[in-house]
Homo-oligomer: A and B are copies of this chain.
Amino acid sequence: MSHILPYTGQQTYDLHVAGTVRRLPLIQVAPDTWIAYYYSLGDTEVIHRAAKILSPKLAQCEVLITTEAKGIPLAHALATELGLAPYVVCRKEKRSFMVTPLEARYKPITATSEQQLYLDGRDAEKLRRRRVGLVDDIVSTGETLKAMSSIVDQAGGRAVANAALLCEGADRPDVYHTGILPIFKGV
């Protein structure tokens, strides 16, 4: 099933996510392209439901990794479901408190230039020789997952599963998720 839908002037899209529904506004992002805009921060119900659905898939993970800010609620909720597992958070800026931070470059779909992810060396220690689950809120190009995977490698951990609330534009068999955000193309 394709997740590229025809744009026919509709204003909203009813997204099925984690067993519930959210009515989303359509936003034009290019002359012929619209996206359904979902903002997960603060949607306690969806995060809670998603953690219940996704946590069994991550049962083999010893620690999780995510990226600020929007990955944090799902990572926290999954870590809680997994018996208070630890998780680490990649930051988007190097912070003064960091000790020997690891770094990975990536280009998020919403950005115009390359960006960096940083992980404090203290957090990198928590990944070493561990089975790591990668957590994101929406997977579009997969660039953020790739950058987190590089950080896991650098830290000496092993990335064993990917989980996200949603995939955008296409299903991804390598990502456990709870719904798909379509992309709308005009004629």
Contact = CB atoms under 8 A, between A and B. Distances in A.
Contacts of A39: 97, 120, 122
A168 interface: no
Interface in A39-97: 39, 41-45, 47-48, 68-69, 72-73, 76-77, 79-80, 84-89, 91, 96-97
A173 B144 CA distance: 42
Nearest to A66: B42
Interface residues of A, number: 32
Interface of A: 27, 37, 39, 41-45, 47-48, 68-69, 72-73, 76-77, 79-80, 84-89, 91, 96-97, 110, 120, 122-123, 126
A34 to B, nearest CB: 14
Contact of A69 (B69, B85, B97): B69
Contacts of A123: 42
A44 B86 contact: yes
23 contacts: A37-B97, A39-B97, A39-B120, A41-B88, A42-B79, A42-B86, A42-B87, A42-B88, A42-B89, A43-B86, A44-B80, A44-B84, A44-B85, A44-B86, A45-B84, A47-B76, A69-B89, A69-B91, A72-B76, A73-B73, A73-B76, A76-B76, A77-B80
